[in-house]
Structure 1
Amino acid sequence: MIVIGYSDNPDCERALEWAASEARRHGELLRVVSATGMPTFADAGAGVMIDRQVIEDGAREMAEAGAARAVELGVQNVESYAALGNPAEILVEAADGARALVLGTRGRGPVLSALLGSVAYAVAAHAPCPVVVVREGAVSVGADHPIVVGTDESDPSQRALAMAAAVAAERGAPLHCVSVWADPAATIAAASFVDGAALMNAGEHVRDAVTKDLEARAAELRTTHPELRVTTAVLEGDPASCLAAEAARVGASMLAIGTRGRGGFRGMMLGSVSHGVLHAAKCPVAIVR
């Protein structure tokens, strides 16, 4: 099952197209969800009565419109679901048992358009499945274009690698594994008090260690997935910027990264790399916990 948070503004159309394509490819259910926060009196304005039934009807009609659009896009098995409450909680609950939860980039008003903001961050940090964020205006490339995955030694990163490998194998697409390292000299505020040769040696050690680890993971993938075309890249710099730029360079159809979600729904946070990638990448981004 694929789940998508939906509203009727243009920002969500690209995400719906992506979700519909995935559902068609696998012949699976597409659940279209309208997750609506109940407006407050402050939102409505002084003297305006809030009719819960009107809000519920609007949410239901929104979900049904999204489902109808999915049918137009060729999805055979579609259902709609609408609910009032905390949008992040609604989407996370609706994604129970899903293969992926798809979000657009931003929304307006009380109806969630899977906005790239606090709700999207909360969903990505707490969803029971990978969350795929599809930017408005994302370039549509063939499914056989590379799947790019950011890798490091963390458990979420390894789950992202496994997910990316599975998607690449299913699509017959290349898998491009990327690790990013930072020069120790760039992270030492008092670098002038540290021996320059020692810093250079430390940087080379970090680069070599990252390269060795990445090549070992790639070799393992080539053994377990002999059908996969696996390539690697080791880059130096800011992880989010490097990953987004590399995904653009190779024409990626998706960029997968791992993240550690923490806190409750009202204090949910993504790591700085995940946050940066969501804003910088032009292709769909899969967030894996």
Structure 2
Amino acid sequence: MFKTVLIPTDGSPLSTQALEQALDFAREIGAEATVLAVIEPLQVFTINPAGMEIAHAEYERRAHEEADAFLANAKEAAKQRQVACDTVKLVGLDPARCITETAEKRNCDVIAMASHGRSGFKAFMLGSVTMKVLAGSKVPVLIYR
């Protein structure tokens, strides 16, 4: 039924747990996996921009390093489960849109993701990425808690 599972992750503990469960699911049904990391650009509004170039460059470097690390871990977890796995890293202001567009572009049959990732004020201000994916996806969405 499902041939390709898209697994978005932000590296949070719940997201990593969902990744492992989604890889187990992919193995059970004989599907391939695509693991997606979306890096949100640094957005700072200030009337004193001195030094912001350095802060921005450092944020970008760290965000890419972290994404590369959890994508490498995902690739290894898939290998251990004998699941064919591809990884994708994108930069985008709207992670939910990146997820749904990637599912469409890569012909994924299902999106499997955590019920939530980030917590606190940032999650409150951004709204739930999971809820936005549920609302905007053209393919089924499997939510792990």
1:194 CA drift (Å): 4.4
Classify the secondary structure of the residue corresponding to 2:38. strand
Q: Which residue identity is paired with 2:35? A: C
Classify the secondary structure of the residue corresponding to 2:45. coil
Classify the secondary structure of the residue corresponding to 2:112. strand
Residues matched between the structures, number: 134
> 2: distance between equivalents of 1:191 and 1:251?
44
Pairs within 5 Å for 1:7-86:
none
Classify the secondary structure of the residue corresponding to 1:163. helix
Classify the secondary structure of the residue corresponding to 1:153. coil
Classify the secondary structure of the residue corresponding to 1:244. helix
Where does residue 143 of structure 1 map in the other structure? 2
Q: 2:26 aligns with which of 168, 174, 177?
A: 168
> 2: distance between equivalents of 1:207 and 1:233?
12
**Pair 1:256 & 2:112 matched:** yes
Q: 1:158 aligns with which of 9, 13, 16?
A: 16
Change (3 A) 1:254 1:200: same
In structure 1, list runs of 5 or more residues that go unmatched.
1-141, 261-270
Classify the secondary structure of the residue corresponding to 1:193. coil
**Pair 1:212 & 2:69 matched:** yes
- What percent of counterpart residues are identical? 24
Q: 1:233 aligns with which of 88, 110, 115?
A: 88
Classify the secondary structure of the residue corresponding to 2:138. coil
> 2: distance between equivalents of 1:151 and 1:192?
34
1:165 CA drift (Å): 0.8
Where does residue 122 of structure 2 map in the other structure? none
Where does residue 140 of structure 2 map in the other structure? 284
Q: Which has the higher contact order (CA 8 A, sep 6+)?
A: 2
Q: Deviations over 1:121-174 (max 9, x none)?
A: xxxxxxxxxxxxxxxxxxxxx422x10111122232123212211221122111
Where does residue 178 of structure 1 map in the other structure? 36
Structure index of larger Rg: 1
Length-normalised TM-score, structure 2: 0.81
Classify the secondary structure of the residue corresponding to 1:165. helix
Contact 2:19 2:74 in 1 (8 A): no
Q: Which residue identity is paired with 2:20? A: A
Classify the secondary structure of the residue corresponding to 2:103. helix
Q: Which residue identity is paired with 2:62? A: H
Q: What is the root-mean-square deviation in Å for CA atoms of aligned residues? A: 2.1
Classify the secondary structure of the residue corresponding to 1:215. helix
In structure 2, list runs of 5 or more residues that go unmatched.
117-126
Change (3 A) 1:284 1:190: same
